[in-house]
Amino acid sequence: MKCVALLSLLLVAVVYAQEDGYRCVTPPRWRGTFREIDYDSGFGRFGNVSYDQYLEAISITEVERSPGGGSRFEAILEVFLFKERKSYRVDLRTRQCEERDLTDEFRPFGVTTDTELNGVNYIGAEITGLGVKVDEYYRPDRIRGDFSGSFAPFGRECIPVLESYVHSARGPPPASRSVNIARQFLNIAPVSSFPPDTFMKPPECP
């Protein structure tokens, strides 16, 4: 009877895990490091990022390599305030600021309701301690690029590890628009709050 009861509990746990595992939840606030490469333009950047889903705000202190820039790098602070529809870009060497109006919608770094679970894999080796288990999610999108994301689950939450946006269409513009962007996330740590000036207009901007 004990074996039967234990088996029943295990079956219930497996069914619950399968139902619950179709969509993990990413932390609404986190900080960490990321790399981004746009393979079409040659643009690349590496930096520290602060992310707040509630505020729809992102702050990035980064080192950039401009398209065609070769080995030339720039130190940049970027603040994206999607609710205010504003972004600020500060060259940390010259302290010059550029203010822009945001036209893109806020896109969460996470598993959105329109993504589908596409399987489970291991980054690295499928050996305990030598690989990272990730849930793979996919979302087709001809405008922004088809989304593929790898998220490392812990409990009911999951941390972004890798994501890409890829789309290629032939024909006259805008049908010929191509998207080929990949991002890698490192040292992600959920936080409860940020310093008050994290998502404010930089002082260099008038």
pLDDT of 39-70, one tens digit each?
Answer: 887 888 899 999 999 999 999 998 877 665 56
Least confident of 12-16, 78-82, 96-100: 12-16
Which residues, including other chains, have CB under 8 Å from residue 97's CB and lie 6 or more apart? 88, 89, 90, 91, 202, 204, 205, 206
Supply φ then ψ for residue 149, to 5 degrees. -135, 140
Query: Hey, CA dihedral for 69, 70, 72, 76, is it positive or negative?
Result: positive
C-alpha 157/C-alpha 138 separation (Å) is: 18
3-state secondary structure of 145: coil
Average pLDDT, the chain: 82
Which residues, including other chains, have CB under 8 Å from residue 86's CB and lie 6 or more apart? 99, 100, 101, 102, 201
What confidence score (pLDDT) does residue 125 get? Answer: 86
SS3 content of the chain, % helix, strand, coil (to 5): 10, 50, 40
What confidence score (pLDDT) does residue 135 get? Answer: 93
**Predicted structure pTM score:** 0.78
Which residues, including other chains, have CB under 8 Å from residue 191's CB and lie 6 or more apart? 29, 30, 31
Least confident of 6-10, 19-23, 140-144, 165-169: 6-10
Residue 92: pLDDT over 80: yes
Q: Which residue has the higher pLDDT, 60 or 141?
A: 60
* Mean pLDDT (whole number) for 156-177: 73
What confidence score (pLDDT) does residue 111 get? Answer: 86
C-alpha 101/C-alpha 86 separation (Å) is: 5
Q: How confident is the model at residue 15 (pLDDT cuts 50, 70, 90)?
A: very low
Q: How many CB atoms lie within 10 A of CB 182?
A: 16
C-alpha 81/C-alpha 99 separation (Å) is: 11
Q: What percent of the chain has pLDDT over 90?
A: 49
Q: Which domains does the chain have, with CATH numbers?
A: 29-190 (2.50.20.30)
Residue 152: pLDDT over 70: yes
* Mean pLDDT (whole number) for 99-109: 90
What confidence score (pLDDT) does residue 10 get? Answer: 30
C-alpha 75/C-alpha 18 separation (Å) is: 45
Residue 5: pLDDT over 90: no
Q: How confident is the model at residue 1 (pLDDT cuts 50, 70, 90)?
A: very low
Least confident of 6-15, 23-32, 39-48, 55-64: 6-15
Q: How confident is the model at residue 76 (pLDDT cuts 50, 70, 90)?
A: very high
Residue 174: pLDDT over 60: no
Q: Are 197 and 50 in contact (CB under 8 A)?
A: no
